[in-house]
Amino acid sequence: WIHGGSATRGSGSSDTYNGAHLAAEINAVVITINYRLGALGLLYSPTFFNDNKEDSSGNYALLDMVQALKWVNNNITAFGGNLNNVTIAGNSSAANSVWGLLQTPLSEGLFHRALMSSGIFDNTFGGRAEHLSDGVINQHLVNTGNATTIYDVPTVREQLGTSKTAEIMRNLSAEALVRGGAGPMNVVDGYVLPMGALEAMNEGAYHKVPMIMGSTKDEGSYMLGVIIGMFTAKKGASDPLLWQQINSVPETLYAMDVIDFDYSADFVAIHQTYSYMWNRYIDKIMPLFKENNPSLYRYDFNWDNVPAPWNEAFAATHTMDLPFLFGNFITDKDDFHRFAWTEENQLEREMLSSQFMAYIGKFMRTGNPSDSNDNVQWPVWHDNENSSLPLRIMLDATIEASETKYTYEAFREKFFQLPIASRSIVGTFAIFGNLE
């Protein structure tokens, strides 16, 4: 398991990722890993390059993941595991890390299944990667007092030269480097990653293992609320106010306590439109994978039986599938998903979690998430637009195979139903490219 967190935060030791329950349920070895975060893991700049291709790749977090897989290959037999049946999985930014592992020649033969949840699959080419990484370096030069403002940095860097700039960066603490942001993920460096994402998908230039891709119904609620600033908590994912709210007794809060008043009237419609766009993006790239990899599966996580005001603010939000995947519903301590769990929904969520884990266990063993014993068969994804055969599994209080399709036309309809000012919010955060 590779944890998410925008490659700048998070840990494999998070209570949500405790693998004990999942391991017991599906009789598997569950390993959660850590990797270098922030600029320690993602920084592509000639300032630090040398003759070693790995040192000059910018993909240091991904290289850590390759090392973890090598460790598994060398040691897992001693833990009762099967080195010939390894599944890699990740959520959010870590889904993009799984995509990186699928592409890199360095992971050849080290894994045999892949699960990607709520990911945006992308690579960054060297020139843009260098530009984005320079932004991180420039800000550090301001933070350390070597430059007065960001506008002074070009002159300062010219005066300092490459070696002195590198020395300043290397003298920063690990905490400063992690908190100071990161360069882009999955840099096309010609060694760790040979080509762009679209090219790799089209050419089938990746390890063709059975794959599951999943997403939640309300991916956009957390993203827009926290990143765009549509919640009252304005300091991002680590805002103490947000943490306090999600760990409060839900009955003590109203929607207006969580959602900024300026957005409250349209917040649900905005995040549902954005969420639809996210799901349309994943559905659009599925045929590209399908063309080169027939063992492809898709799930929608739709369970949203959460108490008010979170049924408006979050619903089936980004990462909501993870407690169900691991079987961890944490109620005895502060936790990101604490807001969702009530006595009323306990039986329902535990039953869904048990079935979800059973599907994943079968996928890990055989490459197929369902067998003849399942009441609801998880269909293989197909790209026949005219077919009414099921495309995906819908994970909800009632599980069903569904022929649901996310279409560009339906997205446009939702988009143009929004007030004009709200459309600009969705459009500004449209990181998915052409959805047609």
Query: What is the rounded distance in angstroms from the CA atom of residue 307 to the CA atom of residue 199?
Result: 44
Query: What is the rounded distance in angstroms from the CA atom of residue 65 to the CA atom of residue 58?
Result: 14
Residue 91 DSSP class: E
Given 45, 56, 57, 92, the catalytic residue: 92
Query: What is the rounded distance in angstroms from the CA atom of residue 370 to the CA atom of residue 401?
Result: 11
Cα-flanking dihedrals φ and ψ of residue 428, to 5°?
-65, -35
Whether omega for the bond prior to residue 309 falls within 30 degrees of 0, making it cis, is yes
Residues 55, 49 contacting (CB under 8 angstroms) = yes
Residues 184, 128 contacting (CB under 8 angstroms) = yes
| Long-range contact pairs involving 257-263 (C-beta distance under 8 Å, separation at least 24) | 257/232, 257/309, 258/225, 258/231, 258/232, 258/233, 258/309, 258/310, 258/313, 259/225, 259/230, 259/231, 259/232, 259/309, 259/312, 259/313, 260/229, 260/230, 260/231, 260/232, 263/230
The token pair that represents 63 in the structure block? 């290289």
Count Cβ atoms below 10 Å from residue 123 Cβ, excluding itself.
Answer: 23
As a three-state string, the secondary structure of 372-425 is: CCCCCCCCCCCCCCCCCCCCEEEECCCCEEECCCCCHHHHHHHHHHCCHHHHHH
DSSP secondary structure of 192-239: S--S-HHHHHHHT-S----EEEEEETBHHHHIIIIII--BS--SGGG-
Query: What is the rounded distance in angstroms from the CA atom of residue 93 to the CA atom of residue 5?
Result: 6
In Å, what is the CA distance from 27 to each residue of 31, 34, 82, 228, 401? 13, 23, 12, 41, 26
What is the Rg, in whole angstroms, of the alpha carbon atoms belonging to the chain? Answer: 22
Residue 25 DSSP class: H
Name the 3-class secondary structure at 75: helix
Burial tier of 285 (Cβ tally within 10 Å: 0-12, 13-18, 19+) = middle
Give residue 304's identity as a one-letter amino acid code: D
Indicate if 92 belongs to the active site: yes
The catalytic site residues sit at: 92
